[in-house]
Amino acid sequence: MVARQGGRGFHELSPRERDVLAEMALGLSNAEIARKLFISPHTVKNHITSIYRKMGVDDRTRVVLMAIRSGLVSLEPLEPGEAGKGGDARGGGPAAPPKKG
């Protein structure tokens, strides 16, 4: 999929849209993002629609890849099955507990 003409870029995103995008980069579903950010799933959907419009794309994977490549979000290495269990795509979330054994 090719970005549509008129995508203005990440500088257009609101702080809350950046929060949503960071959670998207961690692989969270809309419902998980809503719970984590204390907003409704409908509000998450509205933010994602706005992100797509501002970026000129309509694909979740593409917008996340654009954010990673631009340095807007960075990914912390996750253990299998850890997506959505804390942490932060911006690198400021809680650290994972140490492994036993």
- pTM to 2 decimal places: 0.70
Calpha distance 2→58 (Å, rounded) = 9
The pLDDT assigned to 8 comes to: 61
| pLDDT tier for residue 34 given thresholds of 50, 70 and 90 | very high
Residue 52: closest CA among 19, 88, 10: 10
67 contacts 21 by C-beta, under 8 angstroms: yes
Q: Which CATH architecture has domain 10-70?
A: Orthogonal Bundle (1.10)
- List, for residues 37-51, the tens digit of each pLDDT value: 999 999 999 999 999
25 contacts 60 by C-beta, under 8 angstroms: no
The pLDDT assigned to 9 comes to: 82
- List, for residues 9-23, the tens digit of each pLDDT value: 889 999 999 999 999
48 contacts 24 by C-beta, under 8 angstroms: yes
| pLDDT tier for residue 85 given thresholds of 50, 70 and 90 | low
Work out the mean pLDDT of the chain and round it to a whole number.
79
SS3 59: coil
The count of other CB atoms within 10 Å of the CB of residue 28 is 21
Helices (H), 1-101: 15-25, 30-37, 41-55, 60-70
